[in-house]
Amino acid sequence: MAGKKVGDLIKEARTGAGLTQAALAKQVDGVSASDISKAERGEKELTQAALKQIAKATGVTQASLLNAPKGASGSGGKTGSGKGSSGKTGSKTSEDYKLTAAEKKLVDLYRAADSDTKKAAVSLLKGEKNEGLLSSLFSGAVDLLSGKK
């Protein structure tokens, strides 16, 4: 992520979370879809409070957005098109993140899950209540962590 500008990081986080500019703007106080668009293009700097809300809404760390180079809110970072190292928009590779073994297993679980389970897992991680899925997620995680399939 080094060398990327804030606008690139916002766009990557948004597209990685599967959100439109309008959908993201609804989750950030005082920010419109137009503001998101301008920030992604480097035409507008967002407040730290807005960046924190974007990070929370997109599931990235606040540090990844807040610690981007100051004044570097435009596009045109290393990848040039908001694409990760793999060439897919919003995709990350092991070069982009350093994951613990437990995190890698959770990623594997997520990738193997059906779309309903993925949606429920994201909901759960956002702190939303979904008690029916909770037990199935944990049993699947226990199975994966213990080596069972």
- For every one of its 149 residues, what pLDDT tens digit does the chain have, with 9 covering 90 and above? 345 688 988 998 899 888 999 999 999 999 999 999 999 999 999 998 999 999 889 888 888 877 765 544 443 333 333 334 334 445 554 445 566 777 777 877 888 888 888 887 787 777 776 666 556 656 655 555 666 55
Task: Measure the CA–CA gap between 114 and 118, rounded to whole angstroms.
Answer: 6
* Residue 43, domain CATH: 1.10.260.40
Same domain (yes/no): 48, 20: yes
Count of C-beta atoms within a 10 Å radius of residue 56: 15
Give the Cα-Cα-Cα angle 110, 26, 37 (nearest 5 degrees): 90
Range of the domain at 110: 101-145
Domains held by the chain: number: 2
Would you say residue 96 lies in a domain?
A: no
Name residues whose C-beta falls within 8 Å of residue 117's C-beta, 6 or more positions apart in sequence: 133, 136, 137
Same domain (yes/no): 77, 116: no
Q: What is the DSSP letter of 17?
A: T
